[in-house]
Amino acid sequence: MKLLRYGPRGQEKPGILDQDGAIRALPADLGDIAGDLLSPEGLAKIAALDVTTLPKVDGAPRIGPCVTRTGKFICIGLNYSDHAAESNMALPAEPVVFGKWTSAIQGPNDDVEIPRGSEKTDWEVELGVVIGTPGRNIAKADALSHVAGYCVVHDVSERAFQLERGGTWDKGKGCDTFGPIGPWLVTADEVGDPQKLGLWLEVDGHRYQDGTTANMIFDVATIVSYLSDFCTLEAGDIISTGTPKGVGLGQKPPVYLRAGQTVRLGIEGLGEQAQTMVAAA
């Protein structure tokens, strides 16, 4: 299933994509795409619906973040060996963990703001993992059963804030609008093996990133299990799993985003995003 949320910012409603690519409204009594609805039982209720009988959504509404009420937005750094090399950083012995503030979350096609004082705003296409079944100290063998589904994440990053302002990555990762997610939450049963997905990103039509999740250093199951040793993973938590080579920092010379540019990115089977870069007020 491809689940989504549509409508004006802050007024999104839950929906599902039908076989023809049309948005259908989910029944209001199911609630939003969050919490218990992401559990196996909640997803089973949606799967039991006859999608063809649900009302079609007219026009082309704004697509919002594909999940809501996210408690934690956890990111994994340097998780592709080619990206670590272009960043001139050693391969990690354990997953590199940092966070984005949940205020960074926005719809997949909303404008991305270049923060005031930014000189090095960069791009990163990433596979997002959305937790459905809460858990702590999860065994690797059981990890994927805790995943509700997957989505495209744009891990927008301000490199000077990240690397030159005291060494705490979060301040360069969690700026407002720096976490577009969606367009859809594709349920785990439809995705199958998350380590066989192509992912790409273009700036103004120039393709900079073109990789595959097969090249992750730490796969999704390892990441979910690892993180659960340090905190309880809860329904609606998002894990962004790292980016392949081709970021702006890795170009020679480096290339960074400017207001007016358009970024397009996507992951095989999970849809595409497109954002216009704008200067923050």
- Listing DSSP states for 111-168 in one string gives PEEEPTT-S-EE--EEEEEEE-S-BSS--GGGGGGGEEEEEEEE--EEHHHHHSSSS-
pLDDT of residue 89: 79
Beta bridge partners of 187: 149
In this predicted structure, what is the pLDDT of residue 18?
97
Domain ranges of the chain: 2-53, 73-279
Torsion angle of alpha carbons 174, 179, 185, 186, nearest 10°?
Answer: -100
pLDDT (tens digit, 9 = 90+) per residue, 59-104?
999 999 999 999 999 999 999 988 888 888 788 999 999 999 999 9
pLDDT score of 189: 98
Q: Which of 157, 178, 151 is nearest to 87 (CA)?
A: 157
Instruction: Give residue 90's pLDDT.
Output: 85
* Amino acid 82: pLDDT: 84
Q: Which residue is it, tokens 């060996």?
A: 81
Mean pLDDT by 10 residues, the chain (281 residues): 98 97 97 98 98 97 98 96 84 95 98 97 98 98 98 98 88 97 98 98 98 97 98 98 96 97 98 98 90
Question: What's 62's DSSP letter?
Answer: P
The model's pTM: 0.97
Radius of gyration of the chain from its Cα atoms, rounded to whole angstroms: 18
User: How far is it, in rounded angstroms, from Cα 180 to Cα 130?
Assistant: 14
| Cα angle 190, 191, 195; round to 5 | 160
Q: What is the pLDDT of residue 152?
A: 99
Architecture of domain 73-279: Alpha-Beta Complex (3.90)
